[in-house]
Amino acid sequence: MNNRFISWGIFLLLCLIWGSSFILMKWGLYDSHQQPVLSAYEVAALRLLSSGLVMLPFLPKALKTLPKKIILYILLTGWLGSFFPSFLFCIAETRVDSALAGSLNALTPLFVIITAALFYRSKTSKKNTLGVIIGLLGCALLVFVNQTGQVGNILFSGFVILATFLFGLNVNMIYKKLNGVSSLHITTIAFTGLIPPSIIILLITGYFKLPLSNHAFALSTLASSLLGIVATAMASWLLYILIKKAGGLFASLVTYGVPFIAILWGIYYGEKITFLHVLSLLIILAGVYLASIPEKAEGKINVTATS
């Protein structure tokens, strides 16, 4: 099969998976009548638990192959890139629309650049700096366009922004500390390392005492588990394949597709989306484009957005 055709197929599938992850969070939180079912903590913990369980078969080889120092860094990347963002996104979606969360997720490449400058003294060009400023202005516009007169909604949007900041910090840590380590090993140890805290959180929240055979609870559990299996573990695997087949630059373009899939889901479920919402997103993506233009081709960090 044509390699270019496969690359485009993986690209579109990743856009669909990550763009749909925000609505899956909603399905985990609420039933079809928008009544609460699982808490944000339970949805996030189920997502992390399922992604870790899927990767368990690969754990023995990863532990045998990697030195302890590297394993510690990988465990840290699991907390920065998966644990905290998963909870931040789910908590945010108790007050903000899935389309807004998906659009704000496009800030990830900007925070890759910002955290590289703040923590690793990476040099940025004037064009990159301008792109960051434009993207953040688009973010501010998007948040204020979406708010409904309640300050709390703006604050909950901040949880999504904080999650994208952690994504950016995590990308830089992987690039600096884990460059050359097998992608499969990173994914395996990062996700399986989150199994114990996920189980503890589910025990504390009383998840296992819920009527899980009930239709609403079963569907919410399924949606939360799909988040982990498909949108976390499987999507990470597909991303690494895409990077190897088509390069990091092509893979980073997923950043542009994810928000539009999230918006389409939002439209389908009747979320209020106006021209200003779309304009704000386009401003963010214009900023991402400017900020992501490298001075030189070599050494470019992959800035693909995840959720």
Residue 302 lies in a domain: no
Average pLDDT over residues 30-41: 92
Domain with 276, as residue range(s), is 3-291
Q: Give the HSE-up count for residue 144: Cα atoms under 13 Å, Cβ half-sphere.
A: 6
pLDDT greater than 80 at residue 2: no
Give the mean pLDDT of 94-108. Answer: 87
In a domain, 296, yes or no: no
Q: Is the pTM of this model over 0.95?
A: no
User: Residue 304: which of 117, 142, 144, 171 has the closest Cα?
Assistant: 171
pLDDT above 70 coverage of the chain, percent? 91
307 found inside a domain: no
pLDDT value at residue 297: 43
pLDDT tens per residue across span 55-94: 999 999 999 999 888 999 999 999 998 999 999 999 999 9
Domain count, the chain: 1
Does the residue 217 lie in any domain? Answer: yes
Average pLDDT of the chain, as a whole number? 86
SS3 at position 30? strand
Give the pLDDT confidence score for residue 106 in this predicted structure.
Answer: 86
- Local structure of 1: helix, strand or coil: coil
In a domain, 303, yes or no: no
22 is a domain residue = yes
In contact, 106 and 281? CB cutoff 8 Å: yes
pLDDT band at 229; cut points 50, 70, 90: very high
CA distances from 274 to 21, 123, 270 (A): 22, 37, 12
pLDDT at residue 149, as a whole number: 45
CB 101 within 8 A of CB 29: no
3-state helix, strand, coil split of the chain in percent (to 5) is 80, 0, 20
Question: Count H helices, E strands: the chain?
Answer: 16, 0
* Residue 299 in this model has a pLDDT that exceeds 50: no
Query: Crossing angle of helices 215-226/3-29, nearest 10°?
Result: 140
Structural domain includes residue 300: no
Q: Is residue 219 part of a domain?
A: yes
pLDDT of residue 226 exceeding 80, the answer is: yes
